Amino acid sequence: MVRQLFVSLAVWLFCVAASAQVAPELLFNEFFKQPTGSNNLEMSPKLRAANGQMVRITGYMVQQEIPHLGRFMLSPRPVQMSEHADGEADDLPAALLTVYLDDAQKDWMIPYTRGLISITGHLTVGRLEESDGRVSWVQLMLPAQATRGMNRAELTSYFRAQQHAH
């Protein structure tokens, strides 16, 4: 039972910035043209040019009441979602990134991580509708080596920390 929980429930997210491949940094405030004009939000030339490239980005993992397997959202500021109470009326910023694990890890649940995290992956820009109906415009695919399953001690520590979270 514990082994099954270890393999299917939790994943440990690494900071991929230390990998051998150095990727250019993309900032959340570079997602849209500034200032916002009469056409509302327009993707910036820098974001469009990064489409299909490896990039590094730093942000906050969105704390979700109902996490999704194999993916999480990264935001420029800390955000906590209450899907059950708020439904589609969430407080997500416009500059938002949906992060996907490698296809071999798509059934892994990613535990919420507090604080800033830096990740490196392959950026895709364009409309993508999820099976749950959420639409994302900017996605990042993490390489397989960016994640690994938690060992028993890490999993125990993670669950203990969650019990004491306020």
Name all contacts of 40-46 with Cβ < 8 Å and 24+ positions apart. Answer: 41/94, 43/125, 43/137
CATH of 2-155, one of 3.40.1190, 2.115.10, 2.40.50, 2.60.40: 2.40.50
Q: Does the global pTM surpass 0.95? A: no
- Alpha carbon 4 to chain centroid distance? 24
Predicted local distance difference test score (pLDDT) of residue 30: 94
CA dist., res. 26 & res. 134, Å (int): 23
pLDDT, position 162: 62
pLDDT at 11 over 50: no
- Backbone angles phi and psi of 85, in degrees to 5: -85, -40
Domain extents in the chain? 2-155
What pLDDT score was predicted for residue 151? Answer: 66
Specify which of 18-27, 62-71, 89-98, 117-126 reaches the highest per-range mean pLDDT.
117-126
The pLDDT value given to residue 158: 66
Q: What is the pLDDT of residue 97?
A: 94
Higher pLDDT: 39 or 120? It is 120
Neighbours of 136 (CB within 10 A): 18
